[in-house]
Structure formats: structure tokens, C-alpha cells
């Protein structure tokens, strides 16, 4: 059944079009999205407008990655008949809602947002923060509420942004006395935050520490070889540490054979298991995760028009859904319509 005709709960998530999707997206969000698309009305937003808030110097990158990410969606199993894939910059109601919501949130509140604080630091903005960047949580509130989404499957970095959204929702609903807007809750996957291959921060397109879903077999092998382990674990015979050891973090996230991972951990801690053996296992696991995605990507790359057509169709649908919410909210606020 097409989602438009159902009363299923609404999901909205999306991705900034700043680079191809990576394994962090896969465990943090994509797996959930594929599982939920047949039981929910799901909208996926290609967040090109949000991507511009810290990439205004490189709009070509933001544009190029629209088809790239839409291809990733289809390659991991998103079905464009079940899920509406839409392009943020082509949904004018989102910009209108953002402008309205800006009046319901203070600059001080935006500056206190822990995710924004982290991101400002990791992007090295110093005091030169683009106004659009500081305000992107407001735009994200517009995104979520425009679709009347109640569930947002995301990584744990997004939790403060959903809290911010709900504050705006409560404020506006209280003022209008009408429940036009809906509060949403984050659906965090079992792996809320996959670290980058450098073991430092979250795997993130902007940090160059990713394994993309489009990685070749060689790229996967190289990335695993370079992966951070336990610096004290020099010889195989030495006891090693699991905590902070990225290779084990990845095995926990991707290896379905829990018993085998538990066994490897025990042997590693005891001493007698070398890094290269653990890395070999991880490499095999990751090759198995990515190989079918890569094969579907290759097939999709032969028909880019098919991918674009899915985005066009989804965007048209999303235009009418978001415009309806804007009309409803303007009426609830008592704003004049000519
Ligand atoms: P950028 O560096 O441009 O911000 P990103 O890699 O952080 O890119 P986003 O487009 O910001 O990716 O995130 C899209 C979704 O994927 C969000 O729900 C986010 O929480 C989730 N996500 C991103 N990286 C990870 C990760 N390393 N682990 C778990 N979830 C993640
Ligand atoms: Mg991000």
C-alpha cells in the first residue's frame, strides 16, 4: 500500500548532501529505515540546504552528492514506492516554516545546543559561524514538523536537535491552543555513534575518517589495516585492551556472530591474539556488508535517470504535504492569507 493512503506513524530523517554515505549511517540510521519503511510512512530528506550552511564555498559538492546519496538509499534497500525521497531545497514550505520558527527560539538557546557547540569546534569556525549554521536546528524543526513526523531514526548526535524541535512545537501549540504541530522522538539504533577509522571522533563525512558504502574492496582492506587498535599491544603474545579499540567497536557493530566476537575479545585480553588476526576478521565482515550494496550501486549507476526520477516524484509528493502543514499553521496563528 502506498504510504499516502495509510494512517501509519510518520518518520522523517535525512542526510546532509556533503558526501557519500558511510558505515556510520548504515548502523546509525539506514538499517532502521529499511526495516521501518513497510510499517510506517517514511520520508527521507536530501538535506542540501542544510549542507550549504557549512559548505557555501563549495555548492558543487552539495549538488553532486544529491544523486550520490539517493543512490546509496536505493542500494541499501530503500524502496522508493514505500519511502518518499525528497530534496530539501525544492520544498519552499520548509523555508517559510523556518522563518516563522526563528521567532520562537532565542539566539542564546541556539548557542547552548551541545551538538552545535561540538560541530562549531570540529569545523574550526571560531567566532566566524555562518548565521545559517547556527540556525540549522530551527530548519531541522521545520523539516520534522512539516511532515508531522513523530519518529526520527537518527544517531545520538541528533538528540539535542530533536529536543530543540519539541521546544518549538510546545511553544507554538501552547500559543495557538491548537495541536497543529506534533512532538517527535528520536529512535536511536543499537549503535548510536560509530567512531571514525581514526578512533577519535564520530565517523563523519566532514572529518575524512569514513568507510563509504561505495568503498571498493581495496579501500575497505586499507581502512581496516590503518585502523587504530591498542597502542600498548605490540606483540601478539601481549594482553590487549578492548576499550577504545576501534576494531572491536566495529566488530560489535557489524559482526552478527556474537559468540565468535566474545571469544576473540577473551583471547585478545588474555594475550596471544595479534591485531592482524582481529583485523582480518573485521575485514571479512565489512566486505560482506558492503559487497551487495556496491553491486546494487553499480547497477543503479547505469541508470542515473531512474534515481533522479525517484527524487523528482518524491519531492512533488513532499511539496504538497509540507505546503498543507504551512497553511494549517498560518491559519492557527491567525496570519492573514490573501
Ligand atoms: P557531516 O559531517 O556533513 O555532518 P555526517 O557524516 O555527520 O555528515 P549527517 O548527514 O550529518 O552525516 O547525518 C545523517 C544521519 O546519520 C544522522 O541521523 C546522524 O545521526 C547519523 N550518523 C552520522 N554519522 C554517524 C555515526 N558515525 N554513527 C551513527 N550515526 C551516524
Ligand atoms: Mg552530521
Q: How confident is the model over 112-133, as pLDDT tens digits?
A: 999 999 999 988 988 899 999 9
Q: Are residues 100 and 186 in the same domain?
A: yes
Does residue 280 lie in a domain region? yes
Ligand 1: atom nearest CA of 13 is 18
CB within 8 Å of 167: residues ≥ 6 apart:
105, 109
Q: Are residues 281 and 323 in the same domain?
A: no
Does residue 203 lie in a domain region? no
Would you say 209 and 200 are in contact if contact means Cβ atoms under 8 Å apart? yes
Question: Is residue 107 within a helix (H) or strand (E), and if so which, with residue range?
Answer: helix 107-112
Task: Name the CA radius of gyration of the chain, rounded.
Answer: 21
CB within 8 Å of 259: residues ≥ 6 apart:
none
Does residue 223 lie in a domain region? yes
Q: Are residues 308 and 291 in the same domain?
A: no
Over the stretch 93-106, which tens digit does the pLDDT of each residue have? 999 999 999 999 99
Ligand 1: atom nearest CA of 16 is 10
In this predicted complex, what is the ipTM? 0.95
Probe target for ligand 1 pocket from 15, 161, 192, with the most ligand atoms within 8 Å of CB = 15
Ligand 2 midpoint to CA 313 (Å):
26
Over the stretch 276-318, which tens digit does the pLDDT of each residue have? 999 999 999 999 999 999 999 999 989 889 999 999 999 999 9
Q: Flag whether pLDDT at 258 surpasses 50.
A: yes
Probe target for ligand 1 pocket from 12, 16, 17, 25, with the most ligand atoms within 8 Å of CB = 25
Ligand 1: atom nearest CA of 27 is 29
- Most confident range, picked from 3-12, 191-200, 233-242, 280-289: 280-289
pLDDT (average), residues 221-248: 91
Minimal-distance CA residue to ligand 1 atom 16? 25
Ligand 1: atom nearest CA of 14 is 14
Q: Are residues 220 and 138 in the same domain?
A: no
Does residue 208 lie in a domain region? no
Distance in angstroms (rounded) separating the CA atoms of residues 15 and 101 = 21
Q: What is the pLDDT of residue 270?
A: 94
Ligand 1 midpoint to CA 200 (Å):
15
Looking at the structure of the chain, the number of domains it has is: 2
Q: Are residues 186 and 248 in the same domain?
A: no
Higher pLDDT pick, 292 / 235: 292
Indicate the pLDDT class of residue 3, thresholds 50, 70 and 90: very low
Q: Are residues 43 and 132 in the same domain?
A: yes
Q: Are residues 275 and 231 in the same domain?
A: yes
Indicate the pLDDT class of residue 6, thresholds 50, 70 and 90: low
Over the stretch 135-187, which tens digit does the pLDDT of each residue have? 999 999 999 999 999 999 888 889 999 999 999 999 999 999 999 999 999 99
Does residue 9 lie in a domain region? yes
Probe target for ligand 1 pocket from 140, 157, 189, 199, with the most ligand atoms within 8 Å of CB = 157
3-class state of residue 329 by DSSP = helix
Q: Are residues 257 and 224 in the same domain?
A: yes
Minimal-distance CA residue to ligand 1 atom 23? 25
Phi, psi of 15, rounded to the nearest 5 degrees? -145, 140
Q: Are residues 266 and 318 in the same domain?
A: no
Looking at residue 72, the DSSP 8-state letter turns out to be H
Instruction: Name the average pLDDT for the chain.
Output: 94
Ligand 2 midpoint to CA 179 (Å):
30
The ligand whose atoms approach the alpha carbon of 246 most closely is: 1
Q: Are residues 233 and 133 in the same domain?
A: no
Does residue 67 lie in a domain region? yes
Distance in angstroms (rounded) separating the CA atoms of residues 44 and 80 = 10
CB within 8 Å of 237: residues ≥ 6 apart:
271, 272
How many other CB atoms are found less than 10 A from the CB of residue 113? 18
Does residue 102 lie in a domain region? yes
Distance in angstroms (rounded) separating the CA atoms of residues 51 and 18 = 6
Q: Flag whether pLDDT at 4 surpasses 70.
A: no
> Mind giving me the DSSP string for 235-304?
STTS----TT-HHHHHHHHH-S-HHHHHHHHHHHHHS---HHHHHHHHHHHHHHHHHHHHHHHHHHHT-H
Of 130, 114, 110, nearest in space to 54 by CA: 130
Probe target for ligand 1 pocket from 42, 140, 160, 205, with the most ligand atoms within 8 Å of CB = 205
Q: Are residues 25 and 152 in the same domain?
A: yes
The ligand whose atoms approach the alpha carbon of 14 most closely is: 1
Minimal-distance CA residue to ligand 1 atom 6? 204
> What's the CATH code of the domain at 186?
3.40.50.620
Question: Is residue 85 within a helix (H) or strand (E), and if so which, with residue range?
Answer: strand 83-87
Minimal-distance CA residue to ligand 1 atom 13? 15
Would you say 220 and 250 are in contact if contact means Cβ atoms under 8 Å apart? no
Distance in angstroms (rounded) separating the CA atoms of residues 331 and 254 = 48
Indicate the pLDDT class of residue 1, thresholds 50, 70 and 90: very low
Probe target for ligand 1 pocket from 17, 23, 29, with the most ligand atoms within 8 Å of CB = 29
3-class state of residue 66 by DSSP = helix
Indicate the pLDDT class of residue 328, thresholds 50, 70 and 90: very high
Minimal-distance CA residue to ligand 1 atom 5? 204
The binding-site residues of ligand 1, defined as CB within 6 angstroms of any ligand atom, are: 13, 15-16, 18, 24-25, 28-29, 154-155, 157-158, 193-194, 202-206
Does residue 204 lie in a domain region? no
Domain of 247? 215-297
Q: Are residues 264 and 312 in the same domain?
A: no
> What's the CATH code of the domain at 272?
1.10.240.10
Amino acid at each position: 500500500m502506498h504510504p499516502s493512503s495509510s494512517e501509519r506513524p510518520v518518520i522523517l530523517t535525512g542526510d546532509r548532501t556533503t558526501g557519500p554515505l558511510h558505515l556510520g549511517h548504515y548502523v546509525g540510521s539506514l538499517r532502521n529505515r529499511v526495516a521501518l519503511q513497510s510499517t510506517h510512512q517514511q520520508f527521507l530528506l536530501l538535506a542540501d540546504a542544510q549542507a550549504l550552511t557549512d559548505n557555501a564555498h563549495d555548492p558543487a559538492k552539495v549538488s553532486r552528492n544529491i544523486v550520490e546519496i539517493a543512490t546509496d538509499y536505493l542500494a541499501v534497500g530503500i524502496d522508493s514506492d514505500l519511502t518518499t525521497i525528497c530534496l530539501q531545497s525544492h520544498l519552499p514550505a520548509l523555508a517559510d516554516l523556518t522563518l516563522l520558527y526563528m521567532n520562537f527560539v532565542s539566539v542564546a538557546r541556539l548557542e547552548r545546543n551541545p551538538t552545535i557547540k561540538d560541530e562549531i569546534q570540529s569545523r574550526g569556525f571560531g567566532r566566524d559561524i555562518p548565521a545559517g549554521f547556527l540556525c540549522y536546528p530551527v530548519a531541522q524543526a521545520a523539516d520534522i514538523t512539516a511532515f508531522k513526523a513523530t519518529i526520527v531514526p537518527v544517531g545520538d548526535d541528533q538528540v539535542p536537535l530533536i529536543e530543540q524541535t519539541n521546544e518549538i512545537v510546545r511553544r507554538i501549540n501552547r500559543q495557538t491552543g491548537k495541536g497543529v504541530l506534533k512532538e517527535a522522538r528520536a529512535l536511536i539504533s543499537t549503535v548510536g555513534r560509530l567512531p571514525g577509522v581514526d578512533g577519535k571522533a564520530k565517523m563523519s563525512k566532514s572529518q575524512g575518517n569514513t568507510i563509504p558504502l561505495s568503498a571498493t574492496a581495496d579501500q575497505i582492506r586499507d581502512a581496516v589495516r590503518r585502523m587504530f587498535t591498542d597502542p600498548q599491544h605490540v606483540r601478539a603474545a601481549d594482553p590487549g585492551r578492548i576499550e577504545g579499540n576501534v576494531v572491536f567497536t566495529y566488530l560489535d557493530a557489524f559482526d552478527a556472530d556474537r559468540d565468535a566476537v566474545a571469544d576473540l575479545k577473551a583471547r585478545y585480553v588474555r594475550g596471544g591474539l595479534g591485531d592482524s588476526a582481529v583485523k582480518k576478521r573485521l575485514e571479512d565482515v565489512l566486505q560482506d556488508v558492503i559487497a551487495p550494496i556496491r553491486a546494487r550501486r553499480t547497477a543503479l549507476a547505469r541508470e542515473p535517470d531512474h534515481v533522479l526520477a525517484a527524487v523528482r516524484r518524491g519531492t512533488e509528493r513532499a511539496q504538497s504535504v509540507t505546503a498543507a502543514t504551512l497553511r494549517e499553521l498560518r491559519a492557527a496563528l491567525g496570519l492573514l492569507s490573501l
